[in-house]
Amino acid sequence: MSRRPIDPCRRALLLSMGALGVAAGLGPAWAAAPSGLLRRAVPRTGEMLPLIGMGSWITFNVGKDPALRAERVKVLQAFFERGGGMVDSSPMYGSSEEVIGHCLGQIADTGGLFAATKVWTPFQWLGVKQMEESERLWGKRRFDLMQVHNLLDWDAHLETLKGWKAEGRIRYIGITTSHGSRHAEMADIMATQPIDFVQFTYNLLDREAEARLLPLAAERGLGVIVNRPFQGGDLFDRFAKQPLPDWAAEIDCANWAQIFLKFAVSHPAVTCAIPATSRVDHMLENMGACYGRLPDAATRARMVRYADSL
């Protein structure tokens, strides 16, 4: 979800972060591209994905409005220019898929795109039609990742997805939930089904996933996509009026957005986080979290203590 409007001082961005080194102590799955872009391996294949992706809930649901579409082209352009990869959407998000397809058609270089969307409907046959419509809207013959959104009729849709993957029609399959809901059911699917990715909520205040889902994902070799890394904007409401703590510089964070994102993606089981935004300046902030040093275990604990103290 996109952040709420905040004080203009949050817009500062350290554009030089791409030249900074990667922090010591990162696990073997962490890597930086030659430009300094931080990426992490998809556990099933070793494919490297940038730590920060892009969500599209609400922010890309702008219909046919030409001015708003033009602004979204700029947002997506900024994402790719800063090394972005995963773009995530869903039929649940109104016109977002159609708008993403329009934007992709306006951008010359989308070579880093990792296209991820979802199936969100009851009944297997309706799911097939919905996914075919997503292909049309995005202008994609093959999605990198197709997910069952909020576990809706997951057993029926996973049957289709396993078949499509075997045929080469999609590369990875997964399941999603959000708002800390249905963790027990998700864990059961993770433990028994041949999926590649899971997506759920994890952020500095909502850390429920640490108890079961994150360790299970690591154990099962599943990629983890973090949604709601800003807790729907609530993190900014709680923290944005506070000055950045002194330790922010130790992890190369110039603003609260980067602190929130680096907390999420520094967990060793997380593959990437997908904040959403409708603004280029916020996209630049978000992508700044894909550069520089990441929190180590001690700094993560310090971040939690600080958050819980406010």
The tens digit of pLDDT for each residue in 160-182 reads 999 999 999 999 999 999 988 89
CA distance 33 to 106: 26
Judge whether 10 lies within some domain.
Answer: no
Strands (E), the chain: 30-32, 38-41, 48-50, 86-88, 114-119, 143-148, 170-176, 197-201, 223-227, 272-273
Judge whether 23 lies within some domain.
Answer: no
Lowest mean pLDDT among 2-16, 120-134, 240-254: 2-16
Check: CB of residue 113 under 8 Å from CB of residue 87.
Answer: yes
pLDDT above 70 for 13: no
Whole-structure pTM over 0.85, yes or no?
yes
Angle at 18 between CA 250 and CA 78, to 5 degrees: 115
The domain tally of the chain equals 1
pLDDT above 90 for 273: yes
Judge whether 12 lies within some domain.
Answer: no
* Domain of residue 83, CATH code: 3.20.20.100
Q: What is the pLDDT of residue 12?
A: 35
What does the CA dihedral 103, 195, 274, 170 come to, rounded to 10 degrees? Answer: -10
Model confidence at 25, in pLDDT bands (50, 70, 90)?
very low
CA distance 108 to 51: 23
Question: In this structure, what are the phi and psi dihedrals at residue 109, rounded to the nearest 5 degrees?
Answer: -120, 105
Judge whether 26 lies within some domain.
Answer: no
Question: In this structure, what are the phi and psi dihedrals at residue 209, rounded to the nearest 5 degrees?
Answer: -65, -20
Judge whether 1 lies within some domain.
Answer: no
Judge whether 166 lies within some domain.
Answer: yes
The tens digit of pLDDT for each residue in 241-263 reads 999 999 999 999 999 999 999 99
Judge whether 106 lies within some domain.
Answer: yes
CA distance 189 to 159: 13
Judge whether 90 lies within some domain.
Answer: yes
Dihedral sign from CA coordinates of 153, 207, 224, 185:
negative
Which residues, in sequence order, are CB contacts of 242 under 8 Å at separation 6+?
310
CA distance 251 to 263: 10
Which residues, in sequence order, are CB contacts of 133 under 8 Å at separation 6+?
91
**Domain that includes residue 171, residue range:** 48-309
Instruction: Assign 87 to helix, strand or coil.
Output: strand
The tens digit of pLDDT for each residue in 43-98 reads 999 999 999 999 999 999 999 999 999 999 999 999 999 999 999 999 999 999 99
Average pLDDT, the chain: 90
CA distance 241 to 199: 30
Structure token pair of residue 54: 């892009």
Q: For the chain, percent helix, then strand, then coil, each to nearest 5? A: 45, 15, 40
